[in-house]
Amino acid sequence: MAKVSMTVNGKSVSGEVEGRTLLSTFLREGLGMTGTHVGCDTSQCGACVVHIDGKAVKSCTTFAQDVAGAEVRTIEGMANADGSLSTIQQAFQDHHGLQCGFCTPGMVMSAAALLADNPKPTEAEVRHHLEGNICRCTGYHNIVKAVLAASGQDVGQIAAE
Ligand code: FES
Ligand code: FES
């Protein structure tokens, strides 16, 4: 076991981890932050996406020790300071971008990373960017709509389901 320290949602945290401890495990079991979901543990579903130093990363295939000293942001850190939903979260709600909600934390974190890099993505860019995030419920249409709406674009023109 070794001590690892990082910043999570602006707070310094540390804990004891094994070399094999995944970041998703550290967040969920070490810090009790269960907003980051684990759907596959094999880097396929995207439910576990968090930001590491501003980049969207699958936390199920990242060792906690490799994140030492980094700035991590999880879904728990996405709301506004007053607790209200962030623009991207509100857009998912407004445009029915979720049903069971299992994929939603990863979707929101991936979408937020896209909008940080590309504030006005096209529909095709949104679909391409979210390729690593699987949703079993929505058929993706309303997720794409939500991301485009969060970027301030008119969502009336996007392809029909
Ligand atoms: S749990 Fe990480 S990609 Fe599925
Ligand atoms: S809302 Fe159920 S998996 Fe996406």
Closest CA to 64 of 107, 29, 91, 99: 29
d(CA 108, CA 132): 13
Kind and range of the H or E run holding 14: strand 11-17
Q: Is residue 139 part of a domain?
A: yes
Distance 123 CA to ligand 1 centre (A): 24
Using CB distances shorter than 6 Å, the residues near ligand 1 are 38-41, 43-48, 58, 60
- 159 lies in a domain? no
Looking at the domain assignment, is residue 161 inside a domain? no
Domains of the chain: total: 2
Contacts of 140 (CB under 8 A, 6+ apart): 127, 130
Asked if residue 96 has its Cβ within 6 Å of ligand 2, the reply is: no
Within-domain flag for 156: no
Residues 6 or more apart whose CB falls under 8 angstroms from that of 123 comprise 144, 148, 158, 159
CA distance 43 to 158: 29
Q: Which domain holds residue 146?
A: 87-150
Return d(Cα 5, Cα 20) in angstroms, integer.
Answer: 16
Q: Is the pTM of this model over 0.75?
A: yes
- Ligand minimally distant from the alpha carbon of residue 38: 1
Q: Which of 49, 77, 105 is the last residue of a domain?
A: 77
- Give the pLDDT confidence of 105-128 residue by residue, as tens digits: 999 999 999 999 999 999 999 999
Same domain flag for 30 and 70: yes
Domain check: are 68 and 22 in the same one? Answer: yes
User: In this structure, are residues 111 and 149 in contact, taking their beta carbons and an 8 Å threshold?
Assistant: no
Å from CA of 161 to ligand 1 middle? 26
CATH number at residue 32: 3.10.20.30
Closest ligand 2 atom to 136 CA: 3
Task: Render pLDDT for 16-40 as a digit per residue (tens, 0 to 9).
Answer: 999 999 999 999 999 999 999 999 9
CATH number at residue 122: 1.10.150.120
> Contact at 8 Å (CB) between 32 and 13?
no
Q: Rounded to an integer, what distance in angstroms lies between the CA atom of residue 15 and that of residue 29?
A: 11
Ligand 1 atom with the shortest distance to the CA of 132? 3
Supply the residue whose CA is at minimum distance from atom 2 of ligand 2: 100
96 confidence band (pLDDT: 50, 70, 90): very high
**φ/ψ bin of 116: left (φ > 0), alpha (ψ from -120 to 50), beta (otherwise):** alpha
